[in-house]
Structure 1
Amino acid sequence: MFKPVALLALASSAYNYVNLAFHSDAVKTTTSPHVAALSTDRNGRVRCVNLIAPSVVLMSASCVTNDIPIGAAFVSDTTTADTIEAKRAVVHPAYDTQTHANDMAVLQLVRASHAKPVAISWDPVQPNQLATLRGWC
């Protein structure tokens, strides 16, 4: 059963974020099939979501939309994507539209995607531990 409150509580766990220099490389769609590309919004921001279960995606609350193209190789590429309609959206209850604090939402899709969901590690993150960020910058 879909438990959005539990997912949001987990996603809102406290963490410290340090903005370090990033190195980015283009990767094949098969490397990260759980990443869904959404076109840029009117402010020029690129929207990105991650498939976290066969029919559930996690994304920014400020970017919630109805159609989720999963598996696109480029932001502008929706021809190879598996576009699935969102059935329901649950925005973080403490989301602040002014400060963008808690800017996250969980969307339930009308059907399961053929893509493999992201593998979520439940291990605690240690201070100064390296991590991989997938999405568009």
Structure 2
Amino acid sequence: MACRISELVIDCADPEALAVFWSEILGYVELGRDDDGSIEIGPAEAGFGGPQPTLILSPSSDPRRGKLPLHIDVSPTDRDHEAEWERLLALGARPADVGQSGAESWKVLADPEGNEFCLLHRRLPPLGSA
């Protein structure tokens, strides 16, 4: 038997704002809230345990910012890379410089709290399509 990633937890100062930000990027919805202020978001049709991991935005008074040992990569599904780049910027992401040359197959951004993530150039089909 093997494991698969079911949740990714992000410590943050403002779970509310990051839940909105990441829900817009990923097409997720709010799945639940815990008494500690954590918000879980995920795919509306599958929720926890579906083919995509959910995200838990967990309140922290000392969240790490910038380059994390683990970061999120996203790929466009329904538009080209440049259109998705513009959409992410409009949602509040900002370009991040981690020393890239410009020849990479990704672009680095930071979410509203400064957590870095990458937008890959390769387009993926939406889940459920061939």
Q: TM-score, normalised by structure 2?
A: 0.28
- Structure with more of its chain in helix, by fraction: 2
> Given the two structures, how large is their TM-score scaled by the length of structure 1?
0.27
